[in-house]
């Protein structure tokens, strides 16, 4: 125990098990050791540890890390409150009473906050890398499908013709916003809590700037009362995971639709599909379905921590022990989902001609008809009405735009001429788009090249130092 001097009895065993966080905060072993290293060196720099004492502590910590990495030392989950007490107990066993000097000038409150910020920065950097991999996978497929025509949808109804590349670039854009969110999480987590103590700092001359710099933070935190109870950076991490999972879930839904017999547009690799225990013909998009399904867990984790925080007075309260499991779970689900999605995308096969014949003369060109009329001076509301009336007539006759003749069109409006039939041709429908951000192949190609350049520019400093 890191406390107990004023207590006459030991903590009840069931109470210890109930209050222990060791079984999940052992994920913070590396970060905790790193904080111990830096704190010991700082105590030596201000004269509170001799060189011999510091070296003894550092050597002990190094040996503990080696034992952990080699799976030689694994503390009993039921014996320790947390990873911090387990490490300190092992250090006492190795080097004796000098281990008791390591906790000088710090509380578990500021230690935990520091360790969690290091973990969040490290994990955010890993997620950034996974996001870039998925963006790269999408760009590779997009570059091969600049002219693969598919229907674009609103309300799950066919709206206008687009390309698969254009569709995939929409997800590249979404992922870029996810990328920015995690960059912001790293920035928000970049001030060092160590030295704030339990809530009000210390009477000891702790060098907070030295510790901050050695742990690769930009600066120490300000108000100690806020510092030890601040979990905003974790909430923002969870929010970023939630939004990112929502984007993956949307894409999963589309993959599930595209792989159905009705769509017959995409085939996923056997490596990312499963069969049925009863129906031999089945090939199910289970990984995409699981990504969609696990999104709810990530959403719940964000709300879980919000609910924990909402009633807490300043400063630290033990409720904050419950902050870690939601964060660890969301990271695990989101990072794995990103990785699996990238592999699914990279290995999927596209039926490039799936919609080509089907969209010839389709009502999907109705907007182009209305805009053709606008270019000839007809007000848009009138043009919209004319196009709608033509669609209604053809739909009632179970025909499409290719059945139109000039005689009928002239009866609708004398402004029609032979050039209107270009509106209904699937050939060149993408090239006819004129606006930046449209599926015009030249714009899409430029956008792909721009994203490829941007992905090559990403170069993050190493967050976690040995």
The sign of the CA dihedral 368, 372, 375, 381 is negative
Contact 140, 164 (CB under 8 A): no
Burial class (CB in 10 A: 0-12, 13-18, 19+), 186: buried
In a domain, 436, yes or no: no
At 76, the pLDDT band (50, 70, 90 cuts) reads: confident
pLDDT in the model for residue 79: 79
Cα–Cα distance, 216 to 462 (Å, whole number): 9
pLDDT digits (tens, 9 = 90+) for 137-188: 999 999 999 999 999 999 999 999 999 999 999 999 999 999 999 999 999 9
pLDDT digits (tens, 9 = 90+) for 80-138: 888 998 999 999 999 999 999 999 999 999 999 999 999 999 999 999 999 999 999 99
pLDDT in the model for residue 205: 97
Domain shared by 159 and 72, yes or no:
no
How much of the chain exceeds pLDDT 90, in percent? 88
Domain shared by 100 and 125, yes or no:
no
At 419, the pLDDT band (50, 70, 90 cuts) reads: very high
The three-state (H, E, C) secondary structure of the chain, written as one string: CCCCCCCCCCCCHHHHHHHCCHHHHHHHHHHHHHHHHHHHHHHHHCCCCCHHHHHHHHHHHHHHHHHHHCCCCCCCCCCCCCHHHHHHHHHHHHHHHHHHHCCCCCCHHHHHHHHHHHHHHHHHHHHHHHHHHHHHHHHHHHHCCCCCEEEEEECCEEEEEEEHHHHHHHHHHHHHHHHHHHHHHHHHCCEECCCCCCCCCCCCCCCHHHHHHHCCCCEECCCHHHHCCCCHHHHHHHHHHHHHHHHHHHHHHHHHHHCCCCCCCEECCHHHCECCCCCCCCCECHHHHHHHHHHHHHHHHHHHHHHHHCCCCCCCCHHHHHHHHHHHHHHHHHHHHHHHHHHHHHHCEECCCCCCCCCCCCHHHHHHHHHHHHHCCCCHHHHHHHHHHHHHHHHHCCCCHHHCCHHHHHHHCCCCCHHHHHHHCCCCCCCCCCCCCCCCHHHHHHHHHHHHHHHHHCCCCCCCCC
Domain shared by 113 and 71, yes or no:
no
Contact 48, 59 (CB under 8 A): no
Domain shared by 150 and 216, yes or no:
yes
Q: Is the pLDDT of residue 461 over 50?
A: no
Q: What is the CA radius of gyration of the chain?
A: 30
Domain shared by 180 and 327, yes or no:
yes
Q: Is the pLDDT of residue 212 over 70?
A: yes
Could you identify the residue written with the tokens 């109804």?
157
Domain shared by 210 and 246, yes or no:
yes
Domain shared by 167 and 212, yes or no:
yes
**Which long-range contacts (C-beta less than 8 Å, at least 24 apart) are formed by 200-204?**
200/224, 200/225, 202/105, 204/46, 204/48, 204/104, 204/105
Cα–Cα distance, 91 to 102 (Å, whole number): 10
Q: Is the pLDDT of residue 463 over 60?
A: no
Bridge partners for 162 per DSSP: 150
Look at residues 338, 356, 374 and tell me which one is the last residue of a structural domain. Answer: 356
Give the alpha-carbon dihedral of 226, 228, 229, 234, to 10 degrees.
Answer: 110
Q: Which of 263-267, 343-347, 421-425, 458-462 has the lowest mean pLDDT?
A: 458-462
Angle at 107 between CA 103 and CA 108, to 5 degrees: 100
pLDDT digits (tens, 9 = 90+) for 287-309: 999 999 999 999 999 999 999 99
The CATH number assigned to the domain holding 168 equals: 1.20.200.10
User: Which of 155, 261, 411, 414 is an active site residue?
Assistant: 155
Name the nearest CA neighbour of 420 among 465, 359, 375, 355. 375
CA 52 to chain centre: 45
Domain shared by 113 and 98, yes or no:
no
pTM of the predicted model as reported, rounded to 2 decimal places: 0.92
Could you identify the residue written with the tokens 């066919």?
158
Domain shared by 92 and 45, yes or no:
yes
Annotation marks residue 179 as catalytic:
no
pLDDT in the model for residue 3: 42
The stretch 3-7 carries a mean pLDDT of 50
Name the nearest CA neighbour of 454 among 446, 466, 464, 465. 446
Annotation marks residue 276 as catalytic:
yes
Bridge partners for 44 per DSSP: none
Residue 65's contacts (CB-CB under 8 Å, 6 or more residues apart) are: 30, 33
Domain shared by 115 and 217, yes or no:
yes
pLDDT in the model for residue 12: 64
User: Which of 218, 260, 276, 419 is an active site residue?
Assistant: 276
In a domain, 267, yes or no: yes
Look at residues 325, 356, 387 and tell me which one is the last residue of a structural domain. Answer: 356
Question: The tokens of 433 are what?
Answer: 């788009």
Number of domains forming the structure of the chain: 2
pLDDT in the model for residue 14: 63
Domain shared by 115 and 24, yes or no:
no
pLDDT in the model for residue 464: 30
At 5, the pLDDT band (50, 70, 90 cuts) reads: low
Name the nearest CA neighbour of 43 among 125, 104, 131, 113. 104
Q: Is the pLDDT of residue 78 over 80?
A: no
Q: Is the pLDDT of residue 7 over 80?
A: no
In a domain, 432, yes or no: no
Question: The tokens of 138 are what?
Answer: 């999408």
In a domain, 428, yes or no: no
Cα–Cα distance, 406 to 394 (Å, whole number): 14
In a domain, 305, yes or no: yes
At 9, the pLDDT band (50, 70, 90 cuts) reads: low
pLDDT in the model for residue 77: 75
User: Could you list the residue range(s) of the whole structural domain that residue 217 is in?
Assistant: 109-356
Could you identify the residue written with the tokens 């000039």?
406
pLDDT digits (tens, 9 = 90+) for 218-262: 999 999 999 999 999 999 999 999 999 999 999 999 999 999 999
Domain shared by 319 and 255, yes or no:
yes
């Amino acid at each position: 125990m890191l406390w107990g001097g004023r207590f006459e009895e030991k903590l009840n065993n069931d109470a210890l098990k109930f209050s222990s966080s060791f079984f999940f905060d052992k994920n913070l072993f590396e970060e905790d050791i790193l904080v111990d290293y830096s704190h010991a060196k700082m105590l030596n720099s201000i004269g509170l540890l001799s060189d011999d004492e510091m070296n003894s502590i550092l050597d002990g910590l190094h040996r503990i890390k080696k034992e952990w990495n080699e799976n030689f030392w694994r503390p009993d989950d039921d014996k320790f409150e947390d990873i911090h007490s387990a490490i300190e107990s092992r250090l006492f066993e190795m080097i004796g009473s000098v281990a008791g000097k390591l906790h000088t000038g710090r509380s578990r409150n500021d230690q935990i906050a520091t360790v969690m910020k290091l973990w969040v920065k490290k994990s955010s950097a890993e997620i950034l890398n996974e996001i870039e991999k998925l963006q790269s996978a999408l760009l590779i497929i997009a570059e091969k499908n600049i002219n693969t025509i598919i229907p674009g949808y609103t309300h799950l109804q066919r709206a206008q013709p687009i390309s698969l590349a254009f569709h995939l670039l929409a997800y590249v854009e979404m992922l870029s916003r996810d990328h920015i969110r995690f960059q912001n999480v790293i920035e928000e987590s970049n001030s060092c809590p160590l030295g704030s103590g339990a809530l009000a700092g210390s009477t000891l001359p702790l060098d907070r700037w030295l510790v901050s710099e050695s742990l690769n933070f930009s600066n120490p935190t300000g108000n100690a009362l806020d510092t030890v109870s601040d979990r905003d950076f974790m909430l923002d991490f969870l929010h970023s995971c939630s939004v990112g999972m929502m984007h993956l879930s949307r894409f999963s839904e589309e993959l599930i639709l595209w792989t159905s017999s009705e769509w017959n547009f995409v085939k996923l690799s056997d490596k990312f599909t499963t069969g049925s225990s009863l129906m031999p013909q089945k090939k199910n998009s289970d990984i995409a379905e699981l990504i969609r399904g696990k999104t709810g867990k990530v959403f719940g984790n964000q709300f879980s921590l919000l609910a924990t925080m909402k009633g807490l007075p300043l400063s630290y309260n033990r409720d904050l022990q419950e902050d870690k499991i939601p964060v660890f779970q969301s990271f695990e689900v989101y990072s794995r989902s990103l990785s699996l999605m990238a592999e699914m995308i990279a290995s999927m096969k596209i039926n490039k001609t799936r919609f080509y014949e089907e969209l010839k003369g389709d009502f999907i060109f109705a907007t182009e008809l209305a805009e053709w009329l606008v270019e000839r001076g007809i007000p848009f509301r009138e043009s919209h009405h004319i196009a709608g009336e033509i669609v209604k007539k053809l739909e009632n006759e179970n025909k499409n735009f290719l059945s139109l003749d000039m005689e009928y069109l002239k009866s609708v409006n004398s402004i029609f001429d032979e050039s209107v039939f270009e509106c209904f041709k699937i050939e060149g429908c993408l090239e006819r788009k004129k606006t930046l951000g449209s599926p015009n192949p030249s714009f899409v190609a430029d956008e792909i090249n721009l994203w490829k350049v941007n992905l090559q520019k990403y170069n993050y400093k190493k967050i976690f130092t040995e």
